[in-house]
Amino acid sequence: MNTTASGVGLPIIDSYRLPVHRPMLPVALDWIVSPARTLVLVHDMQRYFVEPFPEQMRADLVGNVAAVTQALRERGAIVAFSAQPGDMTSTERGLLNDFWGPGMKASPDQRQIMPELAPHPSDWHFTKWRYSAFHRSDLLQCMRESGRDQLVLCGVYAHVGILATALDAFTNDVQTFIVADAVADFSEQEHRWALDYAGRRCAQIIMSTEVVA
């Protein structure tokens, strides 16, 4: 558990099973992932955020994210990574400090992307300052300049940064896909809630097997 002296920080995460099928939602979208239009964002898969998960959950999550990124990269999608810089000052963190404390250190044991997801030389990198990966980054500009109008989201945490990024993408008319079993959360309830909200309001919910196939 990554906590501060005041008790603010990431919670203890109990094991739960990642989704095995799409949630049933009333919104029927006809969006289809097209690798030539797609940017895959591996969202915050740093040790600090991922290692609190129980071992089997962590292995399942990382394995599914790896399968999605490999499949889409091979078909021409751009793969990008968001990552917090660590050792952010109180000014840089702003109100994040009130909810989460000082956050991660800049040391490799916290800041490093999970080794199984090691970025390729051609992958893009964006510094993460707030919940949404679009905030204070040139993510949207880079997508538009490269002709990418679809976003496939993997990573953590579903009801925090994943959802915030999906909402920002929707606001900018980017078709967004959240891979249900390639994201994870503090609890199964929060995970399900995030997928339900996103699927009703801003994104297409898909499974990793659909992407790979």
Give the torsion sign (CA, 26, 30, 32, 37): negative
> Of 14, 44, 168, 181, which residue is the catalytic one?
44
Say whether 44 is catalytic: yes
* DSSP string of 132-194, one letter each residue: STTTTSSHHHHHHHTT--EEEEEEE-IIIIIHHHHHHHHHTT-EEEEEEEEEE-SSHHHHHHH
* DSSP string of 47-60, one letter each residue: HHHHTTS-HHHHHH
> What separation in angstroms does the CA of 187 have from each of 41, 116, 191, 193, 209?
22, 23, 6, 10, 22
Q: Which residue has the tokens 């002296």?
A: 5
Catalytic residues: 44
